[in-house]
Chains A and B, each alone.
Chain A
Amino acid sequence: MLSILLIILAAFFFTGIIIRTKSLASGRKGPGILQPIRDVIRLFRKGVVYSETTSFVFQLAPTVYFASVVMAMLVVPFGQSRGVLSFNGDFIFFAYVLALGKFFSIIAALDTGSSFEGMGASREALYSMFAEPAFFILMGSLALLSGHTSFQEIFAYLHIGSQISYALAALATFVLLMIAMIENSRMPIDDPKTHLELTMIHEVMILDNSGFDLGLILTAGYLKFAIYGALIVNLFIGVIPYQYAIPAFFAIQFLIAATIGMIESFMARFRMSHNPQFIVVLTSVSLLIFFGVLLILQKFI
Chain B
Amino acid sequence: MQTLQIKNNQSVPVSEIPGMDYGAFFDLNTGLVDRKSQRHCVNYFGIPDGGRILLFCCIADDDEQIIHLSSCRVNPTQKYASFTARLFCFEKFEREIHENFGINYSDHPWLKPVRYAFDRADKSQTIANYPFYSIDSEELHEVGVGPIHAGIIEPGHFRFICNGEQILHLEIQLGYQHRGIEKLYLKPQKLSQLATLAENITGDTVVGHSTAFAQVWESLCGFETTPNMDLSRIVALELERIAIHTGDLSAACTDIAYQLGSSVYGRLRTPIVNFMQEWCGNRLSKGLIRPGQDRFPFTQELADRLSSILDIFEPDFTEMNKQLFSLPSALSRFERTGVVSVADAASIGVVGMAARTSGVNRDIRSSHPTGLYNEIRHEAIVKHHGDVYSRVQLRKNEVIQSIGYLRRLIAGLPVKTENIGLKSPSSNMFALSLVEGWRGEICHCAITGTKGELIHYKIKDPSFHNWLALALSVRNNEISDFPICNKSFNLSYSGHDL
Contact = CB atoms under 8 A, between A and B. Distances in A.
Interface of A: 22, 25-28, 115-116, 118-119, 122, 187-188, 191, 193-199, 264-274
B150 A269 contact: no
A199 B254 CA distance: 12
A267 B329 contact: yes
A267 B481 contact: no
A198 B260 contact: no
Interface centre among B267, B337, B481 (most CB of A within 10 A): B481
B255 A196 contact: yes
Given A198-B480, A198-B482, A199-B483, A27 B333 contact: no
Interface in B260-296: 260, 262-263, 267
Given A267-B330, A268-B330, 8 more contacts: A26-B260, A27-B263, A115-B143, A198-B145, A269-B256, A269-B329, A271-B333, A272-B481
A122 B162 CA distance: 14
Contact of B165 (A195, A196, A264, A272): A272
Contacts of A116: 143
Interface string B193-235: 0000000000000000000000000000000000000000000
A195 B258 contact: no
Interface in B238-261: 253, 255-260
Contacts of A26: 259-260, 262-263
B165 A269 contact: no
A265 B260 contact: yes
A271 B478 contact: yes
Contact of A28 (B151, B260, B263): B263
Contact of B142 (A22, A115, A265): A115
State the 8 A-B residue pairs at the shortest beta-carbon distance, nearest first: A191-B257, A26-B263, A268-B258, A272-B480, A268-B256, A268-B329, A269-B257, A196-B483
Contact of A25 (B141, B151, B259, B479): B259
Nearest to B143: A115
A90 to B, nearest CB: 36
Contact of A195 (B151, B267, B330, B481): B151
A265 B329 contact: no
B180 interface: no
Contacts, number: 82
Contacts of A25: 259-260
A283 to B, nearest CB: 21
Given A198-B483, A272-B480, A265 B151 contact: no
Interface string B475-495: 000111111000000000000
B327 interface: yes
A271 B142 contact: no
Contact of A271 (B145, B150, B260, B481): B481
Contacts of B78: none
Interface string B140-178: 011111000011000000000000110000000000000
A22 B144 CA distance: 33
A197 B330 CA distance: 20
Interface residues of B, number: 31
Contacts of B144: 115
A219 B157 CA distance: 35
Nearest to A264: B259
Nearest to A194: B257
B307 to A, nearest CB: 25
A106 B260 CA distance: 33
User: Which of B262, B267, B329, B337 has most A Cβ within 10 Å?
Assistant: B329
B277 to A, nearest CB: 22
Given A115-B144, A116-B143, A198-B480, A268 B327 contact: yes
Contacts of A115: 141-144
Nearest to A204: B150
20 contacts: A22-B259, A26-B259, A26-B260, A28-B263, A115-B144, A119-B143, A188-B329, A196-B150, A196-B255, A196-B483, A197-B145, A265-B260, A267-B329, A269-B256, A269-B329, A270-B329, A272-B165, A272-B480, A273-B165, A273-B478
B332 interface: yes
Interface string B329-349: 110110001000000000000
B47 to A, nearest CB: 41
B483 A27 contact: no
Nearest to B151: A195
Contacts of B329: 188, 267-270
A272 B257 contact: no
B145 A267 contact: no
A271 B258 CA distance: 12
Contact of B333 (A194, A195, A268): A268
Contacts of A194: 255, 257
B257 A193 contact: yes
Contact of A199 (B141, B164, B262, B480): B480
Contacts of B150: 195-197
Contact of B259 (A196, A265, A270, A273): A265
A229 to B, nearest CB: 22
Nearest to B142: A115
B318 to A, nearest CB: 18
B156 to A, nearest CB: 14
A267 B479 contact: no
Contacts of B337: 271
B316 to A, nearest CB: 12
A264 B257 CA distance: 8
B102 to A, nearest CB: 35
Interface in B414-471: none
Contacts of A269: 256-257, 329, 333
Contacts of A268: 253, 256-258, 327, 329-330, 332-333
Nearest to A265: B259
Contact of B257 (A27, A28, A187): A187
A293 to B, nearest CB: 32
Contacts of A199: 255, 480-481, 483
A264 to B, nearest CB: 6
Nearest to B259: A265
Q: Which of A122, A188, A193, A195 has the most CB of B within 10 A?
A: A195
